[in-house]
Every structure is written in C-alpha cells, then in structure tokens.
C-alpha cells in the first residue's frame, strides 16, 4: 500500500478494513449489467488485500466500478484480490494477460517489478503500475499527491484539538510517509502555532492490534487528535472507543468511527481509470507517469464528522480549492523559513520544494517529536 515514486525499497501497500460492517450476501441485489459488446475491452485489476469496506483496496475497487458505470458494455472488468507481492503477483498478472485482458491495473508498489516482467512477454497488453515509478512502452505509472490531503487534514486537526497535541501512527519512515507527517504538521501549525505532533513508528504496514496499542499510547500522552499511515481502521476504532478524534485515511471511515472522525483524506481513482480505459478503446493510450493530486481529482478531503463546526469545514474546503488552483502549496515557505525539528532550514522563505525534493524527503518538520536517520 505504501510506496514512493523515488523510494527504491520494495514496499507493500497493505490495506484492509479491520472492523467491517458487511450486510449478508443474500440481502444484496446487484443491478443488472448492460450487455457486453463483442469487442468489449477486457480489463483486469490485481488487489493486494481482500476487498473490504474501507481502505486502499476499497478505493481501487470503487475505481473499477466507476469504469463499468462510465463505459458500460464497452468494458468487461474483473479483479483478483488478496494477492501477495512477489511471485504470486507475477503469476496472477500473467494469468490475466493470458486470459485476454488488454488493460491491467496493478495498484501496489510491490507489483511494479512483476508488472514489468510480464509486460515484456505481452507487448500488446497495456499495464498501469499504480504507485510504481518504472515505465516501459506498454507500462504507465501513476501515483497521487497524498500529502496535499494531509495538509488539509492538519488544518482541521489544528482547529479541533484542545490539548494542542496530535498523534501520528506511522508504518515506516520512507519519503511518502514523511511527506504526510510534515504536511499534516505544517497544516496544523498554520492555524495553531502551538501544536505539536508525536509520531509512533510501527515498522509495520498492517497490524491492527499494534496500531490500536499505538493509538492508545498516544492518547495517554495527551494527544486528542490522531492521524495514521497504516493499513487498518484500528486507529479510528480506538479514537471512537476513547472518545477522541482522528483523521480517516484512504476511505471515509464514519461507519467505524461515527463520533470520532474529523475528516477523511480519500483517494479517488475512478476518473483516472476511466480515462485510461477510454484511451485504450480509442487507440490513444500511451505510456506516461502521472503524479496527480487535488487538482486532478485524485485526492479529496471531506466527509466531515458531526462534531466539526461548519466554519472549520468551510475553511478546509476553501484551502482545498486554493490547492486545486495552485494558490496554495503545502511545501512552499510563505511567512518565513520552514525548519526541520533539528533547527535546520528545510525550505527558505519564498521558496518551494521541487517534486524531486518532495520525493526524496528525509526530514521531519519543526513541531514533530521524533527523528529519522539520514
């Protein structure tokens, strides 16, 4: 689940819902699908966890459904869930290609190398390596600027905290996670200069009991709002249990934490997936590398909880619009130098980090408790 376009470590984007609110299968009535055209485009999706009600894979499943809704009988989609990264991923991707899939989406960083390997053997098939960074003539890559949503969530958390202490449950100190922590902190301190952020590193992407324990430990350190970059909904459930607040990630998690959710940073893949499927259908598909965010509709902040005042909601949404039009950049120093938590200037006043600098981030912002090795 977690990855970075510049990070070269093989990381697993592992996202699953820990507390799922599932209706019995017999109560579900699926709408009839439109008849498939004889030349319907076969599209395959490979998921790193089971499809659940919230999380990384849920958002990609919503993207698959959006393709079907937009293109109807012109496409025939299928997915394989709970596929570990590595040899299993290569086998599944290869099977999809052999079974006639003409477009295959592989949304997990650890799928990048297996995707490239299979693509060499199937030059007529188009592949989309989501969160990968290596392209080929028939392999495109795409990722989202998750940090933009983190900055906006920080604004909301900065307005909602009463203790001026936020907690952050994090998997590994890779650039993408550091981007999120720093953007969240900068957003929070833009409206609440006294705010500080305590980070707990788990060295795990998905371990619900460990995530819950970390959340509880942060609440015991006076944090009254939490954010997380891990795979389950355990942090949200912990906040609900303790009567505290938290920021949902990947998906809207109000089912899990109806009273605790401040806001959700959600990933929106439907538009991109539909665009790419259309390109295959009309013969215009080309390999490329997209890093999209709020402007492209790939990151959205919303789904506010009932405890969040309208004024706070309106402020966050206004800043989201500012990001969309380029008026606000989370890693631009406007009022003064942005320093790291060791006192060094990380962004000089008036400067803005380049994409390359963001993708190689290896520092923590002032206000964050914790260190990263360099």
pLDDT of residue 3: 41
pLDDT digits (tens, 9 = 90+) for 165-211: 999 999 889 888 999 999 999 999 999 999 999 999 998 877 889 99
Q: Nearest CA to 336 among 346, 327, 326? A: 346
pLDDT digits (tens, 9 = 90+) for 132-175: 899 999 999 999 999 999 999 999 999 999 999 999 999 889 88
Q: State whether residue 25 is helix, strand or coil.
A: helix
Predicted structure pTM score: 0.82
Cα within 13 Å of Cα(19), Cβ side: 16
Cα within 13 Å of Cα(136), Cβ side: 21
pLDDT of residue 53: 85
């Amino acid at each position: 689940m977690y990855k970075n376009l510049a990070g070269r470590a093989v990381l697993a984007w592992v996202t699953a819902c820990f507390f799922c609110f599932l209706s019995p299968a017999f109560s579900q009535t699926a709408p009839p699908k439109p008849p498939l055209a004889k030349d319907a485009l076969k599209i395959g999706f490979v998921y790193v966890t089971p499809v659940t009600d919230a999380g990384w894979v849920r958002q990609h499943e919503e993207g698959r459904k959006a393709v079907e809704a937009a293109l109807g009988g012109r496409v025939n989609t299928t997915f394989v869930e709970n596929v570990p990264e590595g040899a299993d991923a290569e086998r599944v991707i290869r099977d999809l290609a052999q079974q006639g899939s003409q477009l295959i989406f592989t949304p997990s960083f650890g799928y990048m190398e297996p995707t490239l390997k299979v693509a060499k053997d199937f030059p007529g098939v188009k592949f989309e390596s989501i969160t990968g960074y290596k392209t080929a003539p028939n392999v495109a890559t795409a990722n989202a600027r998750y940090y933009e949503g983190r900055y906006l969530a920080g604004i909301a958390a900065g307005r909602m905290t009463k203790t001026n202490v936020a907690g952050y449950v994090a998997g590994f100190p890779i650039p993408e996670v550091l981007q999120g922590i720093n953007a969240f902190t900068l957003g929070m301190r833009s409206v609440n200069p006294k705010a500080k952020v305590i980070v707990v590193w788990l060295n795990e992407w998905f371990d619900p009991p460990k995530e819950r324990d970390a959340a509880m430990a942060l609440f015991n350190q006076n944090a009254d709002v939490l954010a997380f970059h891990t795979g389950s909904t355990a942090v949200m459930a912990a906040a609900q249990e303790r009567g505290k607040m938290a920021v949902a990630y990947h998906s809207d998690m109000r089912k899990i934490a109806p009273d605790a959710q401040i806001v959700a940073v959600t990933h929106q893949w439907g538009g991109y997936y539909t665009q790419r499927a259309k390109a295959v259908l009309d013969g215009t598909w080309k390999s490329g590398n997209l890093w999209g965010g709020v402007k492209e509709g790939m990151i959205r902040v919303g789904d506010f909880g009932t405890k969040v005042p309208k004024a706070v909601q309106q402020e966050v949404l206004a800043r989201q619009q500012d990001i969309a039009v380029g008026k606000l950049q989370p890693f631009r120093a406007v009022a003064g130098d942005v320093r790291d938590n060791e006192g060094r200037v990380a962004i000089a006043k008036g400067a803005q980090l380049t994409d390359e600098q963001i993708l190689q981030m290896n520092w923590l912002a002032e206000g964050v408790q914790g260190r990263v090795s360099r």
